[in-house]
Amino acid sequence: MSIEERILKRIEVLPLGGLLLPADFSDLGSSEAVRLSLFRLAKEGVIKRVAQGIYVRPKESSLIGKLLPTAEEVAEAIAKRDRIRTVPTGSYALNALGLSTQVPMNIVLLTDGSPREIRVGKRKIKFKKTTPKNLLAKGKISRLVIQALKEIGNGKVTDVEEKRIVDLLRREAEKDLRHDIALAPVWIQKVMKKALNDGKD
């Protein structure tokens, strides 16, 4: 059985809609052979290429046809594939926290990997090189909060936004929250500390 046939056999038992990376098939052959096989399977229409080195076996919808992964899912897959750390920033962080209903056309992620831009459909994912300090936050919510508040700006946070942020931060593990507060600028620390039970540092 050729590498292509073995890859196809494995793909066929995977759930539809899941992202496929060459690394998922590294046990079946050399990286070059795997890449070529995926390229051929995409050409045959078995799978679809959504970004460089990332494929999907799309789900089908009777209304809109093929359902492709979101740019967010692709960004996550790239981070996993390249073993890089990322932190959502700007309007993407605001949207992820529910502080903005606007879905950003461009996703900007701070990273310790190489800076680059990837197009997924009509949207763009931008990986922006940053200092290690910006990637040290442990909490899933608190790291988003730090970036979202930076986007809003000092002195511009409304009472509604602050209440939403504090409510979200209360779901964070206290140990992670205390760790991440120490990484934030002083004005952001003041907002974040309101989520602690004692309200103090």
pLDDT band at 156 (very low <50, low <70, confident <90, very high): very high
150 within domain boundaries: yes
Q: Quick one: average pLDDT of 90-115?
A: 92
Task: Tell me how crowded residue 197 is: count the other CB atoms within 10 A of its CB.
Answer: 7
* 111 closest CA partner among 134, 95, 91, 94: 134
Provide φ and ψ at 94, rounded to 5°: -60, -45
37 within domain boundaries: yes
Q: Quick one: average pLDDT of 83-91?
A: 93
| Domain stop point among 67, 83, 117 | 67
| Residue 126 lies in domain | 75-94+103-133
Q: 31-51: b or e for each residue (b if 16 or more CB lie within 10 Å)?
A: eebbeebbeebbeeebbbebb
- Domains contained in the chain, number: 3
Same domain as 63, residue 7: yes
Residue 118: C-alpha distances to residues 68, 72, 96, 100, 126 (Å): 16, 12, 20, 23, 7
Same domain as 156, residue 185: yes
| Domain stop point among 67, 83, 114 | 67
47 within domain boundaries: yes
199 within domain boundaries: no
Same domain as 125, residue 176: no
189 within domain boundaries: yes
Cα-Cα-Cα-Cα dihedral sign, residues 154, 160, 162, 165: negative
Same domain as 59, residue 90: no
Instruction: State both tokens at 131.
Output: 């200092």
The pLDDT tens digits for 21-48 are 999 999 999 999 999 999 999 999 999 9
Same domain as 186, residue 142: yes
198 within domain boundaries: no
Q: How far, in Å, CA of 184 to CA of 165, rounded? A: 14
Q: What is the CATH number of the domain that holds 61?
A: 1.10.10.10
- pTM > 0.95: yes or no: no
CB-hemisphere CA count at 13 Å for 128?
13
Beta bridge mates, 56? 19, 48
To the nearest whole percent, how much of the chain has pLDDT over 70?
Answer: 98
Same domain as 140, residue 125: no
The pLDDT score that the predictor gives to residue 144 is 95
Same domain as 39, residue 9: yes
pLDDT band at 200 (very low <50, low <70, confident <90, very high): low
Mean pLDDT of the chain: 92
